Amino acid sequence: MTERTVLSMRSGGVLRLTLNRPDKLNSFTRAMHAELRAGLEAAAADPDCRVVVLTGAGRAFSAGQDLADTGWAIGGVAPDAGALLEEAYNPLIQLITTLEKPVIAAVNGVAAGAGANIALACDLVLAARSASFIQAFAKIGLIPDAGGTWVLPRLVGAARARGLAMLAEPLPAEKAEAWGLIWKAVDDDRLQAEVAAVADKLAVAATYGLALTKRAIAASSTNTLAAQLDLECELQRLAGASPDCAEGIGAFLQKRPAKFSGRKA
């Protein structure tokens, strides 16, 4: 039996998805894309899953596309790189960024190429101090994909985005934190415990409110202030009518901890 390229483990409200091709630094094959997509779709469909953690097995988070699985060969006809994005990476980034629950990237080691940008598509990125982010594309004549050209300038500004994309040098986790590319760099031996603490906190949070927050922040990158204020009215109307908002306010007034269901209605 072939080994699964993505391991899936549910514990309470937390679904942990582990990229599992450690010998090839968890680089993406078509099979891995399909399994990761299936894992995320299962998370979307399961109301008891309140948060997803994405991490890698072994010493890497992911080295991006498996360059041996692409069909490129010296002297051969180049495959359609755009088609691979359309079929696999773009739907994956859309799935992560529109999932109505938080997705945490636990970056346990190097994240290169599309592997880096998949991590950066997640809502919270925690990285081991020894991890690094490499926009490796320039080394092979490609452009940053999997949302890289969109997310990098927004997170670190155009000057740093161009430097990262054109020089393709590893950005250590601590510097990534200092630049605002990620949420937090933590000691290697603390990564899984810190991620578990954040995941456990989010697993009992007001999930629907978090989903609306995610939607609003995503929309802000193209909205005018006026449009964003309108969107805040629309989404706050939905959040304000949710059972978790009633519970949160009730709990505050009764001076007790809130017990959120995470449900929309």
Among 56, 113, 248, 262, binds ligand LHQ (CB under 6 A): 113
The CB-of-6 to ligand LHQ minimum distance in angstroms stands at 16
CA distance 105 to 38: 17
Among 38, 68, 197, 229, binds ligand LHQ (CB under 6 A): 68
The residue range among 20-28, 39-47, 172-180, 190-198 that interacts with ligand LHQ, by the rule CB under 6 A, is: 20-28
The residue range among 96-104, 109-117, 119-127, 219-227 that interacts with ligand LHQ, by the rule CB under 6 A, is: 109-117
Q: Which structure tokens are listed for 52?
A: 């997803």
24 versus 50: smaller Cβ distance to ligand LHQ? 24
Among 32, 49, 57, 66, binds ligand LHQ (CB under 6 A): 66
Among 14, 101, 127, 137, binds ligand LHQ (CB under 6 A): 137
Among 27, 108, 207, 242, binds ligand LHQ (CB under 6 A): 27
The residue range among 94-102, 133-141, 181-189, 220-228 that interacts with ligand LHQ, by the rule CB under 6 A, is: 133-141
110 versus 181: smaller Cβ distance to ligand LHQ? 110
Q: Give me the half-sphere count of Cα atoms (radius 13 Å) on the Cβ side of residue 110.
A: 15
199: Cβ contacts below 8 Å, ≥ 6 apart: 14, 51, 53, 104
Hey, how many other C-beta atoms are within 10 angstroms of the C-beta on 52? 26
CA distance 118 to 16: 15
142 versus 156: smaller Cβ distance to ligand LHQ? 142
9 versus 68: smaller Cβ distance to ligand LHQ? 68
43 within 8 A of 76, measured Cβ to Cβ:
no
Q: Does 24 bind ligand LHQ (CB under 6 A)?
A: yes
Bridge partner list, 70 = none
Residue 175 identity: K
Percent of the chain that is helix, strand, coil (3-state, to 5): 50, 15, 35
Hey, how many other C-beta atoms are within 10 angstroms of the C-beta on 126? 29
Helix segments in 89-179, DSSP class H = 90-98, 114-120, 148-156, 158-167, 173-178
Q: Given the rule CB under 6 A, which residues bind ligand LHQ? A: 24-25, 27, 63-68, 70, 81, 84-85, 110, 112-114, 134, 136-137, 140, 142, 145
